[in-house]
Structure 1
Amino acid sequence: MSVSSSRPPLWFWIGISCVWIFALAFRFWGLERFNTLVFDEVYFAKFGHNYLTQTEFFDAHPPLGKYLIALGIALKGFNTWGFRWMNALIGATIPLILSGIAYQLCKRPSYALITAVLASLDGLLLVESRYALLNVHILFFGLLAHWLVLISLNHQGMQRNGWLAAAGVSFGATIAVKWNGLGFLLGLYLLWLVAKGGQVWFGSSEKPKRRLPLQKLSELSWLQLFVYLPAIALFVYGILWIPHLAQNPEFNLWQVHQEIFSYHRRVGGDEVHPYCSAWYTWPLLLKPISYFYQVTQSTLEPLPVIGPPLPQDAVKWIYSVYAIGNPLLWWASTIAIFVLLVWGGWQIWGLVQRRQGNQETTSLSGEQAWLPCYVGVNYLANFLPWVGVSRCTFLYHYMPASMFTSLALAWFIDDWLRTSDRRIQQLAVALLLLSLASFVICLPIFLGLPISPMMWRLLRAKV
């Protein structure tokens, strides 16, 4: 396949602008409706405020996410808008970054745009973006780091090192939000090993001008990848701790890491939190998390909700916010990543068998090999480490891995739209429309809209 070096066409920029407006609108609409601390805002919003008031505190995570919340508070005040708007803005940019990754993988504007559309319809990403929580910051910096690495592969010499340095800064930032940001760095290392192994085992017959950026990953030296990049990341990570340690001098850098590690080892199982969920339940969306639940028996009851009054004849209305993915989109993405992993594994196994049998083989190259490899390896790097974690875990821990399921599903949909089979094209369009319909149906529990008990039970039954 020939890789175009031209920039995306005008229709792509119009489409991506519409996606961003869509994402911004749903994240900022009614951002301060719940005039109370929701879920872990009781920690993170207060911790962000503590930085501004110079109040000492202990936090079980690195400090960068709370710095960003503190910046929002400093600009807009310690109120629901002040400690949420920064997350809403960052969360709205994640579909754009994921689109940038998709474009760098195969230079197909249609694939990049479909990826952005699917990410904008992700209910869990929407909910996490509307509150002062940390997970959108992990995604923002981790995906940004991957995008920068892919861009660096289009350049040589000092330009490449400059892009890699920016990626190192972003890797350091994502780890400085939560340690599970390391999954993004692990994915890059595993991909480099695959690229090196493929180069040695299968060779490469393609001319450089026809190579995808990801195929150039093997050009990165071990010095660039294992010394230069992590040194920058580690430096940034250490620097970001300085304001926190200056304000909280009880522990030094080594001691605070010991305390954090000890805390996470003490976090127990299901008896500690009703919404703890095992890693194998996440791809099936079996246990969402209730972030807010309030029932009113009459319009006279005081509620922490800002907005139009309920109907005068209201008997019972429920305000409920669930951290849950868009059900149809989530399950379709799970099927897509499973099929991609099986298909990719089968393709590589076939190449290995032909190579061992001294039969003629094609090189491990091209979009059909490298794109599934990139998506599959990064998915596993961000998902499988949770298998060995004994502490209480939650559905939102799956979010870094779920970003790559969106890339997988978008790849299939884009291929289906390009086929000459009209039935396959219709299936792709139907899947997009049904994902949008599923998003709209679940909006009441994404945004916390007032619904009747019957409607609430129906939505809970669906998810």
Structure 2
Amino acid sequence: MLNRFPKLRPTPYQASIVAIFVFSLVIRFWNLGQFNELVFDEVYYAKFASDYWLGNDFFPSHPPLSHYLIALAMGLGQFFPVNPEQVNDLTGAVRSTWSYRWLNALTGATIPLLLGAIAYLLTQRRLVTLLTMGLVALDGLFLVESRYALNNIYLVFFGLLGQALVLWHLRQGKLWQLILGGISLACAGSVKWNGFAFLLGIYLLWAIAWFRTVFRQGWAEQQVNSLEPLDGNGQNNHDFFSRWLTISPFKFALWLVLIPAITYSVIWIPHLLMNGEYASLEGFWRIQRQTWQYHRRVGNSPDIHPYCSPWYSWLVMARPIAYFYQKSGKFGLIYDVHAMANPILLWFSTGAMGLLLGTIAWQKISQFFFNRTNSINVPLRGVTLYIVVNYAANLLPWLGISRCTFFYHYLTAYGFSILALALILATLLDSPQRSHRIIAWTVLTLVAIAFWYWSPVFLGMPLTPKGFALRMLFPSWI
């Protein structure tokens, strides 16, 4: 009898994507309910989410979307089996730790997929896609932020999803992609205001494309070149810009300005209704002012919080954050959770951003002073612009922030620096020179080893005092 169902034979590329996702999923859910207490800012976000169920009024220090999602996780978590040793009433009601963490873990496991999707939409190169996904899956900061009831992973999820949808629209031209992109980008800002940096990146790229193509090259020439397809390597630099001009000023204002503004406002409605004193249009604006004033009042010194760190220190991870620290047992084993990146990955990613910026600067200098229009072969120049603009949009606004900031605020910009590293590593791996390939494989090996070495402080695994000290390479890390 013939088999009616054909055998599924995934390609190595498809199998690799599935393997990376499964790895990301397993490592985030492994021992997720450990530490039967509120870890770091779970004292705020898990508590706020529980307040919705309890009907308690509260003032959020950020927009409420992440509180809704954690509350949803709590509600669904009631239907899951509960370990009695992982139940507490610290949120104001008896709940398992797993119940308010599982949705974060699931959301965090999708981050490699989303950043990989962006890499593919930009480059159409499978190698860049897999490298991007693999590197993100081997990072510690994305992992730690996924394992607790915190809000940063939701911000990154919606921001990357929104950008991926806009890039997808640029390739296929479907209106629903642009609409959902605008809604998702608004959702990122509805988790924290700095989530709007993803929308700012889109605004800047659109503005650069219009300025460059319309004002420098002329509308008529744009109309001809807008029909040119990207080649296999995405080298048609002009086409990268012309695609952005398919979003007319009217479409831009409607779907990327008005729709995000409406989305942000609508997301506040449940919170305003559940907190009666704000249940009006005036209340909406009042809570925006109070939130702004709250953050302005927060100071910036070790007295405010011992883990405050300025933006420039994030580039080398000078001051990661201890989310949890506990000594137990007769051997004094240490259980520590550090919100820190994979050090090797972060340092190479910062170097990759520096290399991209230096290459662009040198090319412009060569063009201006030596009239060498092709003095340097910059791979995927449109992609490079995308990375640099979004990295800057997510990092540079912190220069003007006076309040205490933390290393996890670098999470959004960090993702784009990982994309930069993946792009460079793919170029090295494709190089005919053996030395270039050796360099790329050496970097990838070091990243993997570093993830394994620091995984105990990502996952809260027991360490001896000596083992813990060996992982805290600098005094500022403790």
The normalised TM-score by structure 1 is 0.89
SS in 1 for 2:188: helix
Using the TM superposition, name which of 220-229 and 49-58 deviates more: 220-229
For residue 201 of structure 1, the aligned residue among 213, 216, 228 is 216
Once the 2 structures are TM-superposed, how far is the Cα of residue 11 of structure 1 from its aligned partner?
2.0
Once the 2 structures are TM-superposed, how far is the Cα of residue 179 of structure 1 from its aligned partner?
0.2
RMSD: 2.0
Counterpart in the other structure of 2:305: 273
For residue 343 of structure 1, the aligned residue among 359, 370, 391 is 359
The one-letter code sitting in structure 2 at the alignment partner of 1:293 is: Y
Superposed, 1:35-434 pairs within 5 Å as 35-77=36-78, 78-156=95-173, 159=174, 161-199=175-213, 200-201=215-216, 208-210=228-230, 212=234, 214-215=240-241, 216-251=243-278, 252-270=283-301, 271-296=303-328, 298=329, 314-351=330-367, 368-434=380-446
* Pair 361,197 (structure 1): closer, same or farther in 2 beyond 3 Å: farther
Q: 8 Å contact 2:240–2:382 — kept in the other structure?
A: yes
SS in 1 for 2:229: helix
Q: 8 Å contact 2:366–2:372 — kept in the other structure?
A: no
Q: 2:205 & 2:451 partners in 1: Cα distance?
A: 33
The CA deviation string for residues 37-70 of structure 1, in whole angstroms up to 9 with x for no partner, is 0000001001111111211111110000011100
Once the 2 structures are TM-superposed, how far is the Cα of residue 346 of structure 1 from its aligned partner?
2.8
The CA deviation string for residues 68-99 of structure 1, in whole angstroms up to 9 with x for no partner, is 10011001133210000000000000110000
Counterpart in the other structure of 2:449: 437
SS in 2 for 1:315: coil
Unaligned runs of 5+ in 2: 1-9, 79-94
Using the TM superposition, name which of 410-419 and 75-84 deviates more: 75-84
Once the 2 structures are TM-superposed, how far is the Cα of residue 249 of structure 1 from its aligned partner?
1.9
The one-letter code sitting in structure 2 at the alignment partner of 1:188 is: I
Q: 8 Å contact 1:378–1:401 — kept in the other structure?
A: yes
Q: 1:287 & 1:90 partners in 2: Cα distance?
A: 26
Comparing both chains, which one has the higher relative contact order based on Cα–Cα distances under 8 Å and sequence gaps of 6 or more? 1
Unaligned runs of 5+ in 1: 1-8, 299-313
Q: 8 Å contact 1:106–1:367 — kept in the other structure?
A: no
Count residues with an aligned counterpart: 431
Percent sequence identity is: 42
Q: 8 Å contact 2:366–2:373 — kept in the other structure?
A: no
The normalised TM-score by structure 2 is 0.86
Counterpart in the other structure of 2:459: 447
Once the 2 structures are TM-superposed, how far is the Cα of residue 226 of structure 1 from its aligned partner?
2.9
The one-letter code sitting in structure 1 at the alignment partner of 2:389 is: V
